[in-house]
Amino acid sequence: MSLFPTHRPRRLRRTPALRRLVAETSLEPRHLVLPMFVADGIDEPREISSMPGVFQHTPDSLRRAATEAVEAGLGGLMLFGVPRPDDKDAEGSGASDPDGILNRGLRWLADEVGDATVIMADTCLDEFTDHGHCGVLDANGAVDNDLTLQRYVDMAVAQAEAGAHLLGPSGMMDGQVAAIRKALDDAGYTDVGQLAYSAKYASAFYGPFREAVGSSLQGDRRTYQQDSANRRESLREVDLDIDEGADMVMVKPAMSYLDVLRETADRSPVPVAAYQISGEYSMITAAAQNGWIDRDAAILESLTSIRRAGADVVLTYWATEAAGWL
Ligand code: PBG
């Protein structure tokens, strides 16, 4: 009896050149988007303790990091604003104030990099509300969907005016994409698009982000973000957002939801993004700091896997660094 196997898949794995020749998935700088934080009232960039290597930026450090990102060939930047605690209120007024930190930050980015990369804005109230929710509250303390849409609309127009190319509505309110589309069109911003956070789960892995933006959230977001038990619901959210005019859709978080990402990519007629979120960053960073995993290899494997699962675009805090390796 012959011991020779009939099939030898290992042949194509023998050398780096063979592996490169048959790699099904590519990862290029243009696929990567860097989330950035700009904070009001700080003189020096402030490192986020639960996300070593990620900073709340000053105007100067924001501009420097944006220039580096452009030089690295990144696909885009996603900006979050961190207001002073005293500037937060129940309605998140700072979000729609043209002089609010996020809108000022967008202007700094637009001024620094222009159209050399894609400038995106987080369109959500949680960084700006004193209660930390993504919307405004009704008399019983529940997040009021339709009143919140009024706030998103004002915020969206202010962000378009500040120079964002794409808005990222991330609050998971029903009808947010349609409401924002109409407001942008009415204000003359027909060319400003939306990268809709369509399938966004209530995730424990957002923990470090709450520190990153100084969120004051009490309770949780389970009445508006999705339950991790569900996948069909995501497909419905994606369909609704596309129907409402989303130019791109997003699945978030990434690594625990690669099945949802694959199904979304298979059916979406628009480009699909996935967000490798704060907790994913922190887990790999912490394990690597303990010497338990090979940091750079783990980062590249995670990003490649998110691309393999169907993401056209990956938001990752490692975007600039990883682009430098590619
Ligand atoms: C909402 C928003 C959040 C993140 C992005 N946009 C926080 C949340 O929904 O609780 C999380 C990003 C991350 O964890 O890296 N403005």
pLDDT tens digits, 269-306: 999 999 999 999 999 999 999 999 999 999 999 999 99
> Of all protein residues, whose CA lies closest to atom 10 belonging to ligand 1?
206
End-to-end CA distance of the chain: 47
DSSP per residue over 77-94, as a string?
EEEEEE--GGG-BTT-GG
Q: Which mutation among 51, 102, 124 tests ligand 1's pocket best, with the greatest number of atoms within 8 A of CB?
A: 124
Paired sense of beta strands 118-123 and 46-47, if any: unpaired
Is residue 180 classed as helix, strand or coil in its secondary structure? Answer: helix
Q: What percent of the chain has pLDDT over 70?
A: 100
Closest ligand 1 atom to residue 168 Cα is: 6
Residue spans of the domains in the chain: they are 27-325
pTM above 0.95, yes or no: yes
Buried/exposed code over 183-222 (b: 16+ C-beta within 10 A; e: otherwise): bbeeeebeebbbbbbbbbbebebbebbbebbbbeeeeebe
Is 210 annotated as belonging to a binding site? yes
CB-ligand 1 contact for 277 (6 Å cutoff): yes
CB-ligand 1 contact for 97 (6 Å cutoff): no
**Per-residue pLDDT reduced to its tens digit, 150-189:** 999 999 999 999 999 999 999 999 999 999 999 999 999 9
Ligand 1 centre distance from Cα of residue 22 (Å): 36
Exactly one of 170, 200, 260, 307 is catalytic; name it: 200
Torsional sign, CA 312, 19, 318, 321: negative
Superfamily the domain 27-325 falls into: Aldolase class I (3.20.20.70)
Closest ligand 1 atom to residue 221 Cα is: 10
CA distance 229 to 295: 30
> Of all protein residues, whose CA lies closest to atom 16 belonging to ligand 1?
124
Neighbours of 234 (CB within 10 A): 22
**Per-residue pLDDT reduced to its tens digit, 192-233:** 999 999 999 999 999 999 989 998 798 899 999 999 999 999
Question: Does 182 qualify as catalytic in the annotation?
Answer: no
ipTM of the complex: 0.96
Is 10 annotated as belonging to a binding site? no
